[in-house]
Structures are given as structure tokens and as C-alpha cells.
A and B are shown apart, each in its own frame.
Chain A
Amino acid sequence: MPYCSRFIKYMAVCIQAYMFNKFLFLISLLILVISGSLLAQSNAPDPILKQKSVKLNLGSQGIGSEFTYGVATKVALRLGLNVIPVSVNNAFDFADFNSTSKASAKFTNIHLLADYTPFTATPAFRLVAGVAYFARASGNMQVQPKDNYSYGDIVLTPEQVGYLDLDINWKGIAPYAGIGLFRVIPAHRFNVNVDLGTYYLKQPDVKIIGTGLLKGNDKQEGQLHENVKDYRWLPVVQLNFSYKL
């Protein structure tokens, strides 16, 4: 039954490979955007006090929206919601075993961020800090055989073999720190700004559920927790499309 262990290894390789490529792409995109827009916005020292905007954001946190309000000449507060509901069925093939697999990541957070514009002459640069409550923050991998499986001369159904379910959960409160590029509230009606930062998530809870012949895998929860306990930094690379109210 080598398919499960291959699956686990496959996931690890995927994680590492995409990690680098994804960031490279996003950073390149940001450099292009920044180079075209930074100068255009840096010369207008409009105060943000009592100004309001709404944002639609898109990035590593998924999709979301925010309401922004200027509480001081250099400080604005943002209240928002982000959601990532992603799942993939049958994304994996195993050479010697027919299996169905499912991988999913579900993150939903409500956040309150403070944007501080330290330099009046450069309102396009901001320091951002705040906190989020992750109502959902989980990753899941599940795999089970698709067809019958032979044990010696006995043919077992997929239900008799069982399935393996690995869950990692970061649900809870997480602080955020980062920088913002471009105005937090548009000087005119509309702008696009950028967030670069990171959440620091709580230590994850892990759960391994095995059924049938795979029931014994739950005793590896301690090892899985040990492996992922430092997976707490959740970088944010995000584009915000702002509309001034």
C-alpha cells in the first residue's frame, strides 16, 4: 500500500517547489506595479483624517473586502474579511494504486489593521500592524483507494481498506505586521495599493484520522505536530483595489 506514503511525499515536494516560484512571480509583479505608480502618488500630501474608502483585495489571503477610515492625519484603520475556500479532487495519481484524493485549504479571517504613514512627503509608504481572528485556518489531505485491493487472495473493498485524513488547524488570533505601498485611501476616487507583511499564527493543532486498516496512523499526531509546529508565519502579498467614499 505504498500510495499513501507517496502521496505524503508528493505533497511535500509540491509545497517546496511552488513556494519559490509563487513568490518570484508575485515579487516581479509588484516591482512592475510599484515602478509605474509610486512616483505618481508620492507628491500629494492630502490628510486622511475622517476619509473613508472601501477595498476589494486579492492575494495570498484569497479574496476579501475592507472598510478603511482615517482616524488621524497619519493613521487609518482597516476592518476587513478574507476568505480562501479551495479544494481539489483527484489531483493525484499513483502509479501502482488507483486512489481518490482530495486536498483542501480553508482560511477565513476577520482583521483590524492600523496603517501609519510616517512620512508626510511620502504617503505612498505605510507601516501596517494589527490583528486578525482566523475563524477557519486549516489544511487537509485525504486519500483512499478507488478500486478493490488485494490482500493475499482476499479482495478488499475501499471501505475495508479505509482512508487517511491529515488535518492541520491554525484557528485563533494572529498578530500582523507589514508595510503598505501607495495611499491607504485614494487621493481621488480610485487607487490600487499593496500590502506586504505577515501574520504570526498560533501553533497549529493537528489530527490524523485513519479508518479500516489505516486506523493506527493516529498515533503519529505527535510527530506531525512536531514537524509543523513552526509553520506559523503566514506571509501576505496582496493587491487592494480602493474606492474612496
Chain B
Amino acid sequence: MKISIKYSWIIILLLSVFACKKPTENIKLIVDTDILKYTAFIRVTDAATGNVPANAQITISGNAANNVYELSGKKNFNLVQGVVTIGLGPALTPTLANPVNCTVTITANGYVTTTKTITFTTDKSQQVINIQIAKTGSTTPPIIIPEPIVYPTPVALTFIGTCTNRRDFEIRPSVYILFRETGSGLPYQYLGYMDKGEITTTALGQGKTYDFQTTFNGEDHAVTQKIVNASYSLTLNMGNACNNF
């Protein structure tokens, strides 16, 4: 039985006579960003210092290059603070028999051009690729970047992506997260992959304050939090990434 929309919700109309609240009050549209199912977080550093090389650029080549995108779904690959996340579009999925390869080339003024092959396999949805580039003529051996300290108490972080101009809209970001202790002046370290807005880590110490950062669509998104509890819900302003939805 199909009749006019005027009658389809008459029951709700009648029910709403004595109810004050709108059914949709404070209801938001929540959107996930895990469109790229196989991703690689690429981090480029100066081999001798561990710092971010200035003006480094990245290009993607190989048979699969047409199906490789930046995490925002765009074909613009820009290193921001030396990092970028790439991934396979939905049209290309690796299989056991056929893993997918692409080649990453890093160029920067004064540095040796460096290439690296990235392999996407079925058993590895996320991977971190550290690429150290050496200055031309440098003989200094690459430094070893220390692993973050492991603390006994895990901390669960929930990130909610918000948009300044769209209050009825939320994003559950699936991104790689960097962190550093606030005011330390140290380079950001890799914290982990945040799946649909959630990450649990043992790299955060109680009583310490940290800066958290992610890169999406060529932009940095950052938030600061002091850790004194076992879990936090943090809001991340998604900036121009909001235009993607």
C-alpha cells in the first residue's frame, strides 16, 4: 500500500503531540574514512639527523600506480612534515597469489634520490615505511631512531573528527597517528594506526602531556592531551578534509 508522504508518518505525528524533543535532536551523521583498505604510512627523514628534510617530494610509479591514492582519495602526494599515507583504491585488492607493488621515489634538494618498493599483501592492511635519505656525498651512517618507551598502563584514545561548518557531521578517522611529549622539541614519533577513530597504546605515560598529529589531504591535524586516565575522547578538527564528504 503506497500513499502520500503526508500519511506515511501520521503515526509519528500523532505520537509527537505530547513529546517535546525532536526525534533527531543531537543526532549526527557519522562517516568512516576507511575507504582505502590497504595503506602504507611513509615517513621520510634525514638519514644522518632523523630530522625532516626540507622540500622533499614523493612520486609513485609502477603498474599499480594508477590505483594508488593519498589517504584522502586524491592523487596528490605531498609530504607534510615528511609524512604521507598512501593506499590502494577499492578497484585493486591484493590476493595471496598476486600482491600489489608500487615504487616510491623520494627527491629533495641536496639529497640522493631514493626509491623503495612497497608491497601490499592480503595479511597486512597497514604498514609503516621509514625512508631515510642521505645528503649527497654524505658518508655518515644512518641513525637508528629509538622505539618509543613502553609503559605498563595502556591508554585508549577515541578521536572524533569534527567539521567547523557542519555541526551535524562527524568523522571516524582511520589514520596513522604521530605523537611527542608537549614542549620536548623532539620530532614526532609513530604512535600507531587509529582504526575508525580508536587506538589503544602503551606508549603514553601517565601524568605526561602529549601532542598528537595526523596528516590527511595534505594537512596536519593536531590535538594536545594530558594523560591521567585510562581513556580519552579527543576531538580533531578535520579542516579541509570535511570537504571530502
- The answer to whether A230 and B169 touch (CB under 8 A), given A89-B2, A91-B8, is no
Q: Could you say which residues of chain B place their CB within 8 Å of the CB of A9?
A: 24, 168
* Interface pick from B14-22, B55-63, B147-155, B199-207: B14-22
Q: Could you say which residues of chain B place their CB within 8 Å of the CB of A103?
A: 5, 8-9
* Interface pick from B71-79, B113-121, B128-136, B223-231: B71-79
Q: Could you say which residues of chain A place their CB within 8 Å of the CB of B13?
A: 15, 18-19, 22
Residue from A151, A219, A232 within 8 A of B30 (CB atoms): A219
Q: Could you say which residues of chain B place their CB within 8 Å of the CB of A88?
A: 2-5, 8
Which A residues, 154 to 189, have Cβ-Cβ distances below 8 Å to chain B? 154, 156, 160, 164, 168
* A224–B30 CB distance below 8 A: no
Residue from A4, A84, A139, A212 within 8 A of B29 (CB atoms): A4
In angstroms, Cα B244 to Cα A233, docked, is 42
Q: Which of A5, A85, A214 has the most CB of B within 10 A?
A: A5
* B15–A151 CB distance below 8 A: no
Q: Across the two chains, which residue of chain B brings its CB closest to A86?
A: B8
- The answer to whether A231 and B8 touch (CB under 8 A), given A11-B24, A85-B1, is no
- The answer to whether A152 and B15 touch (CB under 8 A), given A12-B24, A87-B2, A230-B21, is no
Q: Could you say which residues of chain A place their CB within 8 Å of the CB of B72?
A: 152
- The answer to whether A216 and B23 touch (CB under 8 A), given A4-B29, A88-B2, A235-B14, is no
Residue from B3, B20, B31, B69 within 8 A of A230 (CB atoms): B20
Q: Could you say which residues of chain A place their CB within 8 Å of the CB of B26?
A: 223, 227
B11 at interface by CB-CB < 8 Å: yes
Distance in angstroms from A9 CB to nearest chain B CB is 6
Q: Could you say which residues of chain A place their CB within 8 Å of the CB of B244?
A: 151-152
Q: Could you say which residues of chain A place their CB within 8 Å of the CB of B22?
A: 12, 227
* A8–B24 CB distance below 8 A: yes
Contact surface of A with B, Cβ cutoff 8 Å = 1-2, 4-5, 8-9, 11-12, 14-16, 18-19, 22-23, 60, 84-89, 91, 103-105, 107, 139, 151-154, 156, 160, 164, 168, 201, 210, 212-217, 219-220, 223-224, 226-228, 230-235
16 sampled A-B residue pairs with Cβ under 8 A = A15-B12, A18-B9, A87-B1, A87-B2, A151-B245, A153-B69, A156-B90, A168-B23, A201-B15, A214-B32, A216-B170, A219-B30, A223-B26, A226-B21, A231-B15, A233-B17
